[in-house]
Amino acid sequence: MSIRVEHLSKRFGGFRAADDVSLEVESGELVGLLGPSGSGKTTLLRMIGGLEAPDAGTVRLAGVDVTTRRAAERGVGFVFQHYALFRHLNVFENVAFGLRVQPSRVRPSKRAISERVHQLLQLVQLETLAERFPSQLSGGQRQRVALARALAVEPKILLLDEPFGALDARVRKDLRRWLRSLHQRLHVTTLFVTHDQEEALELSDRVVIMHQGRVEQVGTPEEVYHSPATPFVVQFLGDVNLFHCRIENGRTYLGAPALDPPEDRPHKGAPTVVFIRPHLLEISLGWTDARQFRASVLMVNPAGPLVRVELESEWGAIVRVDLSQERYRELNLRPGARVFVAPKAEDVLMTA
């Protein structure tokens, strides 16, 4: 089932939580709503699901205007950050709850409910825990119960609000892979809210980046990361260095803001601003390129697959560079070392 919202707006007192938001989600897509706290992600999700009424705009599901319909009439399943499981019900009854409370004319038989619940518990890999209560489960297991409960009523759309936000990092990663695999099997149109960039880029078919109640950019993970549309997207999505620079004859020369080029590097051109990811900068021990600038090493963190180097540029700005372990060993960097830095290529520069 497709989702289409047109010009949605919502205020809470003087705070504009959603400001003229329009968005389309194709049937079967897995789309992430990404942005900082207060950007309007959850408000948008709740308006789509019928938990909040918009001040203006429309919500269409499969082309049908459902703006004024109650949540129960929209065929939507919800999964919240804090699970919202019934503590007095065991796993089986938590999953069966949505089926048991359906109107009698559409409620499945007891046998059908039992079969459906067992199928779902098998799907979420909890079939051996049917008799346990929520207090006897880990956080990851509780979240899978919440997802099974949402799927029990066979929703046409699944809405997830920070589904892994209460879990530790290792469990989050495991559940992300599991959810992606589950979605590939079920193909339920899914919209999930997160502030975790890695989570959004790993899980999503497309990412919607929000800021101050507005949509900043919509695109595939590759598009929003490598071709950001606005300065906010550039700086929000992943680590990035900001440089004032001059461009002449297609080459970019990084330097201090509003300063003329030094005499030993004569070049002219209009000043501008560019952004460069840390892994797209190169460190050298000697002068090899007119685009280089001088810097001194402040800190080196060699833990992990990449070595993170923090430097102070010759004009006093902090610059971050990610190196491979092999390159780090070649350079033998230590705090206080004097080095030269340049972009690896012209096409690594981003402007927005």
233's enclosing H/E stretch is helix 231-236
Of 160, 195, 228, the position where a domain reaches its end is 228
Asked if residue 254 and residue 202 are part of one domain, the reply reads no
The helix-helix angle for 110-123 and 91-100 (nearest 10°) equals: 130
Per-residue pLDDT at 31: 97
Return the minimum-mean-pLDDT range out of 113-117, 189-193, 287-291.
287-291
Asked whether residue 205 falls in the same domain as residue 298, the answer is no
Q: How far apart are CA 330 and CA 281, in angstroms?
A: 16
| 94-128 per-position pLDDT tens digit | 999 999 998 899 899 999 999 999 999 998 889 99
Contact 219, 206 (CB under 8 A): yes
- Domain end, chosen from 163, 196, 228, is at 228
Q: Is the residue at 296 inside a domain? A: yes
What percent of the chain clears pLDDT 90, i.e. is strictly above it?
64
pLDDT grade, residue 352 (50/70/90)? low
* pLDDT score for 274: 85
Domain containing 292 equals: 241-348
Confidence check: pLDDT of 258 > 80: no
Give the per-residue SS3 of 162-223: CCCCCCCHHHHHHHHHHHHHHHHHHCCEEEEEECCHHHHHHHCCEEEEEECCEEEEEECHHH
State residue 135's pLDDT score. Answer: 94
- Structural domain includes residue 233: no
Q: Is the pLDDT of residue 247 over 90?
A: no
Task: Confirm whether 130 is domain-assigned.
Answer: yes
12 and 38 co-located in one domain: yes
Clarify whether residues 194 and 265 are in a common domain: no
- The C-alpha atoms of residue 163 and residue 177 are separated, in whole angstroms, by 13
Final residue of a structural domain among 228, 257, 286: 228
For 32-51, the pLDDT digits (tens) are 999 999 999 999 999 999 99
| Residue 146 clears pLDDT 60, i.e. is over it | yes
Q: In this predicted structure, what is the pLDDT of residue 350?
A: 78
Q: Are residues 222 and 84 in the same domain?
A: yes
| 61 and 30 housed in the same domain | yes
Give yes or no for a contact between 78 and 137, defined as CB atoms under 8 angstroms apart. no
pLDDT at residue 281, rounded to an integer: 94
pLDDT value, residue 178: 84
Task: Give yes or no for residue 280 having a pLDDT over 70.
Answer: yes
Model confidence at 261: pLDDT above 60: no
For residues 212 and 282, state if they share a domain. no
Shared domain check, 29 and 66: yes
- The answer to whether residue 234 is domain-embedded is no
- Domain annotation covers residue 291: yes
* CATH code of residue 294: 2.40.50.140
| pTM for this prediction | 0.82
pLDDT band at 351 (very low <50, low <70, confident <90, very high): confident
Among 49, 73, 67, 8, which Cα is nearest to 159's? 49
Mark whether 205 and 159 lie in a shared domain: yes
| Whether residue 222 has pLDDT greater than 90 | yes
Mean pLDDT of the chain: 89
What are 1-15's pLDDT values in tens digits? 999 999 999 999 999
Instruction: Give the model's pLDDT for residue 267.
Output: 46
Verify that 188 and 277 share a domain, yes or no.
Answer: no
Number of structural domains found in the chain: 2
Residues 204 and 281 both lie in one domain: no
Cα 75 from Cα 49, distance rounded (Å): 9
**Claim to verify: residue 53 and residue 198 sit in the same structural domain:** yes
Query: Which CATH number belongs to the domain containing residue 196 in this structure?
Result: 3.40.50.300
